[in-house]
């Protein structure tokens, strides 16, 4: 079924409830429906068309249409199609039926849209706040157009946190918000009976950075790639690529072939450095610091190489709309091959040793079970999904950059445990090295940047995804005026994988909880949304509690 046929199938099935549908190329479908049919359409896509849920978005369009636009994004991987389901709700009564009862993976994103835009998902099974703190004032929604990006509201008083209560007879073991291995705050309330985990609850979003808000209110199109790269401190280039591809697609910008190959090479170099970093941290979590020392030793020459290619060890700053800012000169090809070949040889030895180590097997094999059914239901991505037998990989399912001209292998294991997620990353690292060699072999000549002579048109939309080391990164852009997006929506893979943690922890020993959490390579900052910026100097500041109270809790502060 091609994209046009899928749109016609939906229109035939739901008749007058389908207001309109349009396609963008052979792989993107945009369907506009009535609010009353939203649950039925979502259930049809999920159950009957075999679609996978990605994310939800809320857009404040009161200036244009006196309404809020609610969008649910799906993907049909076998047919290589992304689907956006739009519906509008009136500004006077901003609520819409929740699809979470029929599409469980929509849980967080519907709650986030309620927090950030103020559209209530009626019938949601867990209506607690997600992104906003418990003492955030009612009726103040950060992603509405009339709320400033730097607003500092006084905290609401007398608000008690809403918590999931443990099963009867179970005790609560708090982990976090400060975690001894992970540098970012995350709060897990683990419910235990003796040493056995019987449930868990998660509270995150402690570091709020406002990246989506800044991209739609302060930054221009070509400034956004640099802040997009700050979404993740380890795998930021994937966000820069996904954003640029999205705007390029919406505006009809043709990226030169050489730029697409360069993007592919840098993406795979980032995959290698991310997987080597993760394996070291995983070893550290279970007290096997030899793995940490070895993998980080192997990773360091790669970081030097990235600095030579891009000017930075990590935040590469390579992308602009239309291509890349720096070429990779032929005289560097040999150095790239030398570094990755040495890593490949050492990595292969490490990969061969891990399955034979009894200590590692005792901690990894049979722990952290995430069944294939649960992984699909909750929208797992990347190695977490592939370690549960879901053969999804955006590089092959929805090719971008130069991946349609290269050989890529889906690394899939079906034991659904911590070991499977380790093995997927071990194999992917070796495959990434092969992809880099292919890209260097086939690198075309030509320009690295398209010429963009006209202003980007407003009112267009596009979707794009990139297979990050942690999984599928997804971006949607609705183009706007003033040389910036009207709406920019981001979904990082950790946002999806975090929702899989409670079932992953059940029936494990308490001692295995840290490696279960670490096994999906969490990046909590990827899920965050707002940040404190000094508007006078433009500098980001870290405040002590006393400084924060003195500066922002004064009477009359806004």
Q: What are 382-399's pLDDT values in tens digits?
A: 999 999 999 999 999 999
**pLDDT tens track for 120-163:** 999 999 999 999 988 899 899 999 999 998 888 888 887 877 78
The answer to whether residues 112 and 236 belong to one domain is no
Examine the fold and report which residue of 131, 152, 174 is the final residue of a domain before the chain moves on. 131
Domain end marker among 131, 159, 185? 131
Is the whole model's pTM more than 0.75, yes or no? yes
| Residue 505: burial class (beta carbons within 10 Å; 0-12, 13-18, 19+) | buried
Dump strand ranges (E) for 305-460.
Answer: 319-320, 323-324
The predicted pLDDT at position 548 comes to 39
Residue 551 maps to a domain:
no
Q: Does residue 557 lie in a domain region?
A: no
Would 187 be classed as within a structural domain?
Answer: no
Residue 190 covered by a domain: no
Q: What is the CATH number of the domain that holds 256?
A: 1.10.645.10
- Domain final position from 109, 131, 153: 131
C-alpha closest to that of 224 among 250, 205, 206: 250
252 pLDDT above the threshold of 80 = yes
User: Helices marked H in 445-540 — which ranges?
Assistant: 493-497, 501-505, 513-518
Q: What is the pLDDT of residue 178?
A: 76
Rounded to a whole number, what is the distance in angstroms from the first to the last CA of the chain?
Answer: 53
Same domain, 127 and 259: no
Has residue 162 been placed in a domain? no
> Are 303 and 424 in the same domain?
yes
Domain co-membership, 230 together with 324? yes
Lowest mean pLDDT among 105-109, 208-212, 308-312: 208-212
The residue with tokens 């070291």 is 280
Give the count of domains, the chain: 2
Strands (E), 110-155: 120-122
18: confidence class by pLDDT, cuts 50, 70, 90? very high
215 plus 119 within the same structural domain: no
Whole domain around residue 472: which residue ranges? 211-527
What percent of the chain lies above the pLDDT cut of 90? 75
**Tell me, what's the pLDDT at 536?**
53
Q: Tell me, what's the pLDDT at 194? A: 93
**What is the mean pLDDT of the segment spanning 203-219?**
85
> DSSP assignment, residue 533?
B
Question: What band does 180 get if pLDDT is binned at 50, 70 and 90?
Answer: low
Of residues 374 and 204, which shows the higher confidence score?
374
Is 502 a domain residue?
yes
pLDDT above 50: residue 171 = yes
Domain match, 245 and 373 both: yes
Per the listing, tokens 């998902």 go with 121
User: Is 498 or 161 the better-scoring residue by pLDDT?
Assistant: 498
Residue 357 lies in a domain: yes
pLDDT band at 553 (very low <50, low <70, confident <90, very high): very low
pLDDT for 538 beyond 70: no
Residue 349 belongs to a domain: yes
Average pLDDT, the chain: 90
The CATH number that applies at residue 94 is 3.30.460.80
What DSSP line would sit under 412-440, residue for residue?
A: ---S-SHHHHHHHHHHHHHHHHHHHHHHH
Whether 545 has a pLDDT exceeding 60, the answer reads: no
Percent of the chain's residues with pLDDT above 70: 93
211 token code pair = 């990246």
pLDDT digits over 312-364, tens only?
Answer: 998 899 999 999 999 999 999 999 999 999 999 999 998 898 888 888 899 99
Same domain as 439, residue 305: yes
The reply to whether 306 and 432 lie within a common domain is: yes
């Amino acid at each position: 079924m091609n994209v046009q046929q899928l749109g016609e199938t939906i229109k035939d099935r739901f008749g007058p409830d389908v207001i309109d549908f349009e396609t963008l190329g052979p792989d993107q479908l945009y369907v506009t429906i009535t609010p009353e049919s939203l649950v039925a359409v979502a259930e049809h896509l999920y159950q009957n068309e075999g679609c996978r849920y990605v994310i939800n978005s809320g857009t404040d369009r009161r200036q244009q249409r006196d309404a809020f636009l609610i969008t649910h994004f799906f993907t049909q991987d076998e047919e290589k199609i992304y689907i956006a389901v739009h519906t509008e709700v009136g500004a006077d009564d901003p609520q819409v039926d929740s699809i979470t009862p029929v599409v469980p993976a929509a849980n967080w994103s519907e709650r986030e849209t309620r927090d950030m835009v103020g559209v209530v998902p009626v019938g949601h099974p867990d209506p607690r706040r997600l992104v906003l703190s418990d003492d955030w004032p009612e009726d103040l929604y950060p992603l509405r157009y009339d709320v400033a990006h730097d607003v500092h509201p006084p905290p609401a008083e007398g608000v008690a946190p809403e918590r999931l209560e443990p099963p009867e007879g179970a005790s609560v073991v708090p982990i976090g918000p400060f975690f001894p291995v992970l540098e970012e705050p995350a709060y897990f309330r683990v419910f235990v009976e003796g040493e056995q985990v019987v449930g868990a609850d998660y509270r995150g979003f402690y570091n709020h950075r406002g990246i989506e808000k800044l991209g739609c209110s302060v930054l221009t199109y070509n400034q956004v790639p640099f802040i997009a790269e700050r979404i993740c401190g380890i795998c930021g280039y994937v966000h820069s690529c996904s954003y640029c591809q999205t705007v390029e697609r919406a505006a009809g910008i043709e990226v030169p072939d050489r730029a697409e190959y360069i993007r592919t090479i840098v993406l795979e170099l980032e995959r290698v450095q991310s997987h080597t970093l993760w394996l070291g941290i995983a070893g550290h979590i279970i007290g096997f610091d030899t793995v940490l020392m070895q993998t980080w030793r192997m990773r360091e020459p790669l970081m030097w190489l990235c600095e030579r290619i891009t000017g930075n060890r990590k935040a590469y700053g390579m992308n602009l709309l239309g291509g890349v800012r720096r070429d990779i000169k032929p005289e560097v090809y040999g150095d790239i091959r030398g570094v990755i070949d040495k890593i490949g040889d050492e990595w292969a030895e490490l990969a061969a040793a891990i399955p034979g180590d009894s200590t590692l097997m005792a901690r990894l094999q049979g722990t952290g079970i995430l069944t294939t059914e649960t992984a699909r239901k909750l929208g797992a991505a990347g190695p977490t999904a592939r370690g549960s037998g879901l053969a999804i990989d955006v590089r092959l399912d929805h090719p971008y950059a130069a991946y349609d001209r290269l050989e890529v292998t889906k690394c899939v294991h079906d034991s659904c445990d911590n070991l499977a997620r380790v093995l997927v990353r071990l194999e992917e690292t070796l495959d990434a090295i092969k992809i880099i060699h292919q890209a260097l072999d086939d690198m075309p000549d030509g320009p690295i940047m398209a010429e963009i002579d006209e202003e980007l048109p407003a009112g267009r939309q596009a979707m794009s995804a990139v297979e990050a080391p942690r999984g599928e990164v997804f971006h949607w852009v609705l183009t706007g005026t003033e040389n910036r997006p009207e709406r920019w929506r981001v979904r990082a893979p950790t946002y999806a994988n975090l929702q899989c943690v409670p079932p992953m922890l059940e029936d494990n020993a308490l001692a295995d909880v840290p490696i279960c959490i670490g096994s999906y390579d969490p990046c909590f900052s990827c899920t965050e949304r707002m940040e404190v910026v000094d508007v006078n100097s433009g500098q980001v500041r870290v405040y002590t509690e006393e400084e924060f109270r003195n500066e922002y809790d004064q009477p009359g502060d806004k």
